[in-house]
Amino acid sequence: MTDLISTVIAKYNYWIYITLMMIGLYAMIAKNNLVKKIVGMNIFQTAIILFYVSIGVKKGATIPILEHGHGPDAHHVVHAVDYINPLPHVLMLTAIVVGVATLGVALALAIRIYNNYNTLEEDEILAQIREK
């Protein structure tokens, strides 16, 4: 039991992202309201962004700008341990943009659906489709 707890605590960032992902997935599958589903989708995407951000982090490290990178003593050994890994963070800038764009398209579609059916509840929409 203590083993389990210590594994969970040691890798808590992964547990958080998996929990968030499952919350998002649950909302997308189980919720009836289209906007709630879209919110679930956004939580799902954010979970993966947090996962990426967390894998770039190092304890005790600083932002990846070289200290004393200029000037006379510019040529010295760079300790990778002192700097966080910037690449996953940079990748996530793109993923955030993608997430925002997806959210925008999804909400635009929700507006179109609302104009067609005057509701955002999925069961009511399906009932209207069946009547036609």
What one-character-per-residue DSSP string does the chain give? -HHHHHHHHHTHHHHHHHHHHHHHHHHHHH--BHHHHHHHHHHHHHHHHHHHHHHT--TT-B-S--TT-SSTT------GGGB--HHHHHHHHHHHHHHHHHHHHHHHHHHHHHHHHS--BHHHHHHHHHH-
Site for another protein in 29-58 (CB under 8 A): 34, 37, 41, 44-45, 48, 51-52, 55
Does 116 engage in binding with another protein (CB under 8 A)? Answer: yes
Does 112 engage in binding with another protein (CB under 8 A)? Answer: yes
User: Which residues contribute to the site for another protein (CB under 8 A)?
Assistant: 25, 28, 34, 37, 41, 44-45, 48, 51-52, 55, 87-88, 91, 94-95, 98, 101-102, 105-106, 109-110, 112-113, 116, 125, 129
